[in-house]
Amino acid sequence: MDYRTRIVDSPADIDAGAWNRLLAAQEQPTPFLRHEFLSALTEAGCASADTGWAPRFVTIWRSRSGKPYQAAQSDPALADAEDAASEDPVDLDDEELVAACPLYLKDHSYGEYVFDWAWADAYRRNGLEYYPKLLCAVPFTPVAGARLLALDDESRVTLAATLRALAEESGVSSLHVLYPSDKEAEILSAVGLMSRKGVQFHWENNGYRHFDDFLDTLEQKKRKNIRAERRKVQEAGVTMRRVQGPQITDEEWRFFNRCYQQTYREHHSSPYLNINFFRTIGRTMPDNLLMVIAEHEGRPIASSLVIYQRESGGGTLYGRYWGAIEHVPCLHFETAYYQPLEFCIEQGLRAFEGGAQGEHKMARGFLPTVTHSAHWLAHPAFADAIERFLAQETENMSHYVDELREHDPFKRA
């Protein structure tokens, strides 16, 4: 099959309809790969060259009519699109986007949630540069799902091979693909990337009719603790309000952003996102958003934002951002977990993914789920050392997940 590869410096250079149609064709699409979400990150200045996230989105095209590309290249995947176009008998209007992925040139490892700081430090101690590196991921978003968007398996394999070839030709230290689907992880391994596993905690909706129906499946101690946590919030005089995306006002966005910023201040770090990003996704993808607002004596004191996607047979809700301007015991659990869980049950969503890390989620009905990442390093000696490290880490992770599953919170039959 004859393909043409183009690398673009902004998602704005890719037709939104073509990108989203490609996403919709995937087995595991998420709202975070929507053109609107990725564009908002760039337009708001959150994921840009200035913040160390320089977009290098990879797109792969082929002719709808089957006309060949004339330009002969030693590596077609890395052909210069502009030079080749003058020799190309294919009309650009005849081209079809068949594969694409979000790719960033990075000069740090912040906002990734798959940690390679020790690798970067090892490079530094040996007088080598680890940055820049190439990263295929959704910035600041530890959510598993499609990364190698493609119309068919052949195009997906071509995209994976293109990523590795691009890394080799670019002179970067490494290439990393974070949170791909199971199938994509296998393809990336087949083209020479090393596999790494992690763990998250996800909740599954087993046809619950209401929240108490879910609680009844838990061990007595876990059930009692959750009810006690919810009661503390109620006894503090806090009321909860859920607002779906189209109804979120600008005043509520401003308050939510204040809460989000406060969370980062409390952890002595800088926030990745800003009010312009939140306003943009509120305008461009409102049907994917739910805001939970906690109020005390008529004043908002905390909020969370979750993102969800409806699918045939259900859908998935993703816990994302939370913050509070006043402390109330257990308010975090009510705002960021229990209210979204109630929403999942009411809306018939099949799953709630709680985000990175957090063994404490297990006591609230979330179970361990294995995630993937894939890595290629240019330096042979470091690649060999990291491959040995990953083999041991994978074995340890397998034991860890098995141990967690032995202590799930549900009643035994």
Distance CA 161, CA 377 (A): 15
Least confident of 46-60, 132-146, 347-361: 347-361
Neighbour tally for 317: CB within 10 Å: 25
Q: What is the pLDDT of residues 366-380, one digit of tens each?
A: 999 999 999 999 999
d(CA 260, CA 263): 5
CATH assignment at residue 24: 3.40.630.30
Q: Is the pLDDT of residue 84 over 50?
A: no
- β-strand partners of 373: 178, 196
Amino acid sitting at position 237:
G
Asked whether residue 184 falls in the same domain as residue 219, the answer is no
Domain presence at residue 318: yes
Output the pLDDT for position 80.
46
Give the residue-averaged pLDDT of 13-22.
97
Torsion on CA atoms 115, 121, 124, 128, rounded to nearest 10 = -40
Q: Which residues contact 373 (CB under 8 A, 6 or more apart)?
A: 114, 176, 177, 178, 179, 180, 195, 196, 197, 198
Who's near 363: CB < 8 A, 6+ residues apart?
Answer: 222, 225, 409
The distance from CA 361 to its chain's CA centroid, rounded to whole angstroms, is: 19
Spatial distance between the Cα atoms of 46 and 276, rounded to a whole number of angstroms: 9
CA of residue 347 relative to chain centroid, distance: 23
Over residues 29-41, mean pLDDT: 97
Q: Is the pLDDT of residue 409 over 80?
A: yes
Nearest Cα to 306, choosing from 255, 247, 357, 244?
244
Give tens-digit pLDDT for 228-274.
999 999 999 999 999 999 999 999 999 999 999 999 999 999 999 99
Give the per-residue pLDDT at 380. Answer: 97
Both 114 and 181 in a single domain?
A: yes
User: What is the pLDDT at residue 234?
Assistant: 98
Q: Mean pLDDT over all residues of the chain?
A: 93
Note whether 154 and 241 are same-domain residues.
no
Helix 250-266 and helix 275-284, axial crossing angle in degrees, nearest 10: 140
Asked if residue 76 has pLDDT above 60, the reply is: no
Query: Residue 95 is which amino acid?
Result: E
**Of the residues 199, 219, 250, the one at which a domain ends:** 199
The CA-to-CA distance between both ends of the chain, in Å, stands at 54
Of 330, 349, 368, the domain-final residue? 349
For residue 379, tell me if it sits in a domain: no
Could you tell me what percent of the chain has a pLDDT over 70?
93
- Which of residues 310, 330, 349 is at a domain's end? 349
Per the structure, the count of domains in the chain is 2
Answer yes or no: are the C-beta atoms of 240 and 292 closer than 8 Å: yes
- Is the pLDDT score of 78 beyond 70? no
CB-CB neighbours of 402 under 10 Å? 10
Pairing of strands 174-178, 314-324: unpaired
**Could you read off the pLDDT of 293-338 as tens digits, one per residue?**
999 999 999 999 999 999 887 899 999 999 999 999 999 999 999 9
**Is 403 inside any structural domain?**
no
DSSP 8-state code for residue 236: T
Q: Which amino acid is at 132?
A: P
**Are 213 and 80 members of one domain?**
no
- Residue pointed to by tokens 């594969």: 99
pLDDT computed for residue 227 by the predictor: 98
Please check the confidence at residue 285 and state whether its pLDDT lies above 50. Answer: yes
Check whether residue 126 and residue 250 sit in a common domain.
Answer: no
Q: Are residues 9 and 25 in the same domain?
A: yes
What mean pLDDT comes out for the span 99-105?
98
Q: Does residue 60 sit within a domain?
A: yes
Q: Are residues 87 and 181 in the same domain?
A: yes
155: pLDDT strictly greater than 80: yes
| 94 and 243 inside one domain | no
Residue 393: is its pLDDT beyond 90?
yes
Domain coverage including residue 111: 4-199
pLDDT of 14 higher than 70:
yes
196-234 tens-digit pLDDT: 999 999 999 999 999 999 999 999 999 999 999 999 999
